[in-house]
Amino acid sequence: MGTSMFDYVRYVFATVITMISIFLIVYAIAGGHAALPGHPIMQYALLVFDLTLLAYLEGLQVAILALERVRYSTFPEHMKRAIASHKLATGNRGHNVQRFLVGRQFFVVFVVFLCAQLTTYATLSVPWMPKILFTILIETGLPGALIVLAFGQLMPQLVAATHPITFMNLVGTWSVIQLCLCFEAVGVTHFSWVLSWTVKKMFNMGDKEKIKKSKKSGNVMKGIELTTNPKSSGKAAKGPTYNKNEGNVEVGGLSMNVHIMDADALYSATEDGLSLAKDNDVYSSTTMRWLQNDSIKSIASAYSSDEAQKNALPQPPTIVRHLVQNGQPVPRYLLPPYHPQHIPPHIVAYELIRREENRKNRACIKA
């Protein structure tokens, strides 16, 4: 979507009023008009610290929720701080995510209230400004709200939404996460757990809501975009090679860049692909018709003079028929490609290759 002239006008307008707010805050604190008593230098430092801490809290919320189900082994190796922060944030069998959100919320409220004490100026006077306009623009703390939104909330959230790993690799992220977890461990905010339990009981909501999987859950390619770019060198590789960046695979001289638009869809699909198909899926009319059609093709190919065709590897229907006849379970990736519960085999292969690479890396580290 292109940027219109109206968008540029809004960018300029927002930049102008933000710059005016910064100038007003600097001027008012220098004049000693802040509600919080103290030396202006101390107030400047405290305001910068508050905005920085708030930026970490807001950005980490977006980054942690975006990477909650992503394995840190897929992170670039040089981003060690991001790996350490991810381990801490998703530790304790995933319970640390909730604990972080609880502790984070307290510090967000505390920092916002403290910023309000530094950006509200009841003693400031502007003789040429009408009283009503002064009350709306100055006494309500509107300049402070604009600064907090721009520097402490919206900017870090927008950055973390597109670069969550990079944001978690910033200096101090591990300390901020630990700060929130430690404060939650003290128990000051534990009344929220009691209150949430009470509300669930009052409305008979149960411990946890059960979400049924969509019947079309097998179609995970909506969350994955695959692009192939021929390499400049015409040499074909002997086997697949992997770059350090997630999703970059080189096969046969082609650079196959997998852009994961929905990481949750990819990782849940790999787990589902390794699971077994239900009996009603295996014995459904769709699967039975698929097996019958393949049987007809197999009989026709038996009379073929093409020796290579006769010696070809068994196709999925042949394997499924063998498993069914011997009472063995059928993996979901062997179901017909048009079956609602089908998981593409290459997704499962990608997961198995990734697991093997991780196993080799762990073996090398132990050695």
| pLDDT tens, position by position, 167-195 | 999 999 999 999 999 999 998 888 888 88
Over the stretch 14-52, which tens digit does the pLDDT of each residue have?
999 999 899 999 999 998 888 888 899 999 999 999 999
Using a CB cutoff of 8 Å and minimum separation of 24, what contacts does 153-159 make?
153/54, 153/55, 153/58, 155/55, 156/55, 156/56, 156/58, 156/59, 156/62, 157/58, 157/59, 157/61, 157/62, 159/59
> What average pLDDT does range 89-100 have in this prediction?
88
Query: Mean pLDDT, to the nearest integer, of 309-325?
Result: 70
What is the pLDDT, as a whole number, of residue 63? 93
Q: How confident is the model at residue 226 (pLDDT cuts 50, 70, 90)?
A: very low
| Helix ranges restricted to H, 191-341 | 191-202, 263-273, 279-282, 285-302, 307-310, 316-325
- pLDDT at site 293: 61
Residue 108: pLDDT over 90: yes
Q: Supply the pLDDT for residue 290.
A: 66
Q: What is the mean pLDDT of residues 276-303?
A: 62
Backbone angles phi, psi at 329, to 5 degrees: -70, 155
The residue among 256 and 198 whose pLDDT is bigger is 198
C-alpha–C-alpha distance, residues 65 and 214, integer Å: 22
pLDDT, greater one: 131 or 286:
131
Contact between 192 and 99 (Cβ < 8 Å): no
Rounded distance between C-alpha atoms, residue 367 and residue 361, angstroms: 10
Mean pLDDT of the chain: 76
Asked if pLDDT for residue 155 goes beyond 90, the answer is yes
pLDDT band at 128 (very low <50, low <70, confident <90, very high): confident
Give residue 33's pLDDT. Answer: 87
- Tell me what pLDDT residue 151 has: 94
Those residues with Cβ within 8 angstroms of residue 164's Cβ, 6 or more apart along the chain or in another chain = 62, 63, 66, 67
- Amino acid 254: pLDDT: 43
